[in-house]
Structure 1
Amino acid sequence: MAADLPDRNSAARATDRPGDASPFALGLLLRRAHWHAAAVMGEALRPLGVELRHFAVLIVLVNRGPTVQRDLAAATGTDKAGIMRVVDDLERKGLAVRKAVPGDRRVRAVEITPQGLELFDAAHAAAEPLADRLAMDLGPGETEQLRDLLTRLAHPAHDDV
């Protein structure tokens, strides 16, 4: 059995350091880049009184319109209890409302309010200079190239089939 395991001394170790060749390297680097981007974008949202988890729901509501909570959970990678807390927060802040879904008394759709749309637009304005800071170490054309590559990773062509 031990003969089937790779030699521990020669196996690539998973790290997120530049040049790592392990099979985990890309995922680990993406995770580190996400942490960095989330911290920077959180700076833009903090003065507006919301966090990224709130803004993620607002993004879905702007893109899809009124959306039931289970679909919000799936779209944001949040569990059922977590999405309920976020929607409760958004309602308390006047940024979203729950409305009855015609034909199903048990289900409520979440809808962004005019105040939520104002905050959504304000967040984009506040994030603009910080977004530039995220890409300050990239050269000419590299921001667009990175955006294209990440879009292809996040939305693989074979998922559309």
Structure 2
Amino acid sequence: MTSSAPAPEPPADDPGVESIGLDSDLGWAIRLVSGAFRRIATGSVAALPGGPRGYLVLMAVVSGPPRSQLAIAQQLALNKTVMTYLLDDLEAEGLLTRQPDPVDRRARRVLITEKGTRALDEARARLGMAEARLLGDLDPAEEQQLRQLLERVARTARLLEIDPAADCR
């Protein structure tokens, strides 16, 4: 998704990141991009119960076969208690349903409803427009490359989250 709008220019009194060496600092870039994405994307999913977390839950539910709420909580790195309240809110809005797992009656599978599918599609469309604003300075090939690279880095980050001993201290 690209936007025809040009990228905003830095303020005239901004000394520029190049003059102080921040342009090559990964932490600075990630912080800036993450903050901008959070600001513009949060409004895109605000209509969903739980906002960004609710969006991620719905995305996880549609991204594969029905799974338990515990499996989804682990995938999203959400506390089990938080996940329960979030699912309660999404279910109360009619966006998903929880059903006993036919294999393990103690577990509950989480399924999206038709209303949930419509709400997710609307949120994805709004989020797509927000992403287009943020990535508007990239051509389609660069955007695709950035997404692929971020997916790879995210997988590594997830492994570091699972195994803290693997981090580089």
In the superposition, relative to structure 1, how do residues 76 and 147 fare at CA in structure 2: closer, same or farther (>3 Å)?
Answer: same
Please tell me the residue identity of whatever aligns with 2:146.
Answer: L
Please tell me the residue identity of whatever aligns with 1:147.
Answer: R
Contact 2:49–2:86, Cα closer than 8 Å, also in 1? no
Q: Write the deviation string for residues 28-73 of structure 1: whole angstroms up to 9, x where unpaired.
A: 6435433322322111112456501001010011112322011011
1:19 is aligned, of 18, 21, 24, to: 24
How far apart in 1 are the matches of 2:107 and 2:74? 16
How far apart in 2 are the matches of 1:87 and 1:47? 15
2:98 partner SS: strand
How far apart in 2 are the matches of 1:79 and 1:88? 14
Return 5+ residue gaps in structure 2 as ranges. Answer: 1-21, 160-169
How far apart in 2 are the matches of 1:81 and 1:125? 30
How far apart in 2 are the matches of 1:100 and 1:48? 24
Residue of structure 1 equivalent to 2:148: 148
TM-score computed with the length of structure 1 as normaliser: 0.72
In the superposition, relative to structure 1, how do residues 97 and 47 fare at CA in structure 2: closer, same or farther (>3 Å)?
Answer: closer
Residue of structure 2 equivalent to 1:65: 65
Tell me which stretches of 4 or more aligned residues in structure 1 moved more than 6 Å.
none
TM-score computed with the length of structure 2 as normaliser: 0.69
Residue of structure 2 equivalent to 1:34: 34
| Higher relative contact order, structure no. (Cα contacts within 8 Å, ≥ 6 residues apart) | 2
1:128 aligns with 2:115: no
| 1:100 Cα offset (Å) | 0.6
Compare 128-137 and 57-66 and name the one that shifted more.
Answer: 128-137
How far apart in 2 are the matches of 1:59 and 1:35? 21
Contact 1:66–1:112, Cα closer than 8 Å, also in 2? no
Please tell me the residue identity of whatever aligns with 2:24.
Answer: G
| 1:139 Cα offset (Å) | 5.7
How far apart in 1 are the matches of 2:77 and 2:32? 18
1:55 aligns with 2:60: no
Supply the RMSD in Å over aligned alpha carbons. 2.3
How far apart in 2 are the matches of 1:101 and 1:36? 40
